């Protein structure tokens, strides 16, 4: 039997009374009864509750933009220079809440969910310098974050993927690392292994070209754009790579419903959104299997679960 949040909260309260062992200082994330793991929380740190809010909706991917420069004590969260005044800390806003949540949930992102969520880390400063500091943070939690080691991926509850200024060559040289590369459509035919580049992301305006019917997302999908979408997903999945588009139009319900509908039908793995509750509710109705990933990395022989 699946309970709503109020029912779950009531059970927790009753259990605490019965066993007299409830720690009021430790707040746990209450996830919804059904996850919508195709959802990607774009610029998640602008939410009222970074990570936690989207995790309660059962999202499969969370995005954090980061800054790190000489003299910084630690990696900071910021989309642009104007955000640095907040001194949002990567470790505090994302790493620690993720680690606490996973360890309090039997080493799973969600109850009974045997897959991995994505922490997409968009580097805004110098790639190699920033990435090395991120690695120093992630490697402290080998029970939580997926790692690459000598040709194999050991998948954990959360997989950190580096976007933005990506030091691809440096990352490729490592025998062991705790993060992976977010590729682009231009990387699809470059023979990058999914053990390095398990995700391909691109701007949605890729479809706004003459050969794809100049599709900008505001009208019905042209046949040429749908054919290109199918080609991209098929090629990526054959390589054990997941697909995400950013800047998908969300201006009004009619627009985003059309976009989300075709992306879901094409089995695009992550749907980018700035409307987390709206996308969550839409997927519960329109995604036949909202709690299942479009592609399971573990189906590939070079990937295995760490548990």
Q: What is the pLDDT of residues 145-168, one digit of tens each?
A: 999 999 999 999 999 999 999 999
pLDDT of residue 31: 55
pLDDT of residue 33: 55
Q: Which residue has the tokens 């109705």?
A: 285
Q: Is the pLDDT of residue 127 over 50?
A: yes
pLDDT band per the 50, 70, 90 thresholds, residue 34: confident
pLDDT band per the 50, 70, 90 thresholds, residue 65: very high
Q: Are 79 and 137 in contact (CB under 8 A)?
A: no
pLDDT of residue 7: 41
Q: Is the pLDDT of residue 20 over 70?
A: no
Q: Cβ of 186: how many Cβ atoms within 10 Å?
A: 9
Show the domains of the chain with their CATH numbers. 34-305 (3.20.20.190)
> What pTM did the predictor assign?
0.90
Q: How many CA within 13 A on the CB side of residue 70?
A: 0
Q: Which two tokens mark 248?
A: 């998908």
Q: Are 247 and 203 in contact (CB under 8 A)?
A: yes
Q: What is the pLDDT of residues 88-123, one digit of tens each?
A: 999 999 999 999 999 999 999 999 999 999 999 999
Q: Are 274 and 40 in contact (CB under 8 A)?
A: no
pLDDT of residue 30: 66
């Amino acid at each position: 039997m699946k309970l709503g949040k109020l029912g779950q909260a009531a059970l927790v309260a009753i259990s605490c009374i019965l066993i007299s062992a409830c720690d009021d200082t430790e707040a746990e994330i209450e996830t919804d009864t059904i996850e919508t793991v195709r959802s990607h929380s774009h610029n998640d740190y602008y939410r009222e509750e970074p990570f936690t809010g989207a995790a309660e909706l059962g999202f499969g991917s969370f995005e954090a933009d980061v800054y790190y420069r000489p003299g910084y004590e630690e990696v900071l969260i910021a989309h642009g220079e104007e955000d640095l005044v907040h001194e949002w800390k990567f470790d505090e806003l994302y790493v620690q809440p993720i680690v606490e949540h996973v360890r309090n949930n039997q080493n799973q992102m969600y109850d009974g969910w045997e897959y991995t969520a994505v922490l997409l880390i968009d580097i805004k400063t110098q790639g190699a310098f920033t990435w090395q500091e991120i690695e120093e943070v992630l490697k402290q939690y080998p029970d939580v974050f997926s790692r690459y080691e000598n040709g194999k991926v050991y998948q954990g509850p959360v997989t950190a993927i580096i976007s933005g200024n990506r030091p691809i060559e440096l990352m490729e040289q490592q025998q062991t690392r705790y993060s992976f590369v977010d590729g682009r459509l231009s990387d699809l035919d470059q023979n990058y292994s999914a053990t390095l580049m398990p995700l391909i992301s691109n701007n949605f305006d890729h479809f706004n070209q003459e050969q794809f019917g100049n599709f900008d997302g505001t009208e019905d999908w042209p046949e040429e754009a749908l054919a290109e979408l199918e080609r991209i997903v098929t090629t990526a999945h054959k390589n054990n790579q997941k697909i995400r588009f950013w800047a998908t139009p969300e201006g009004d319900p009619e627009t985003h419903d059309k976009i989300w509908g075709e992306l879901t039908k094409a089995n695009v793995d992550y749907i980018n959104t700035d409307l987390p509750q709206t996308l969550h509710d839409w997927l519960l109705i329109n995604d036949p299997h909202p709690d299942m990933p479009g592609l399971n990395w573990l189906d590939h022989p070079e990937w295995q679960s760490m548990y």
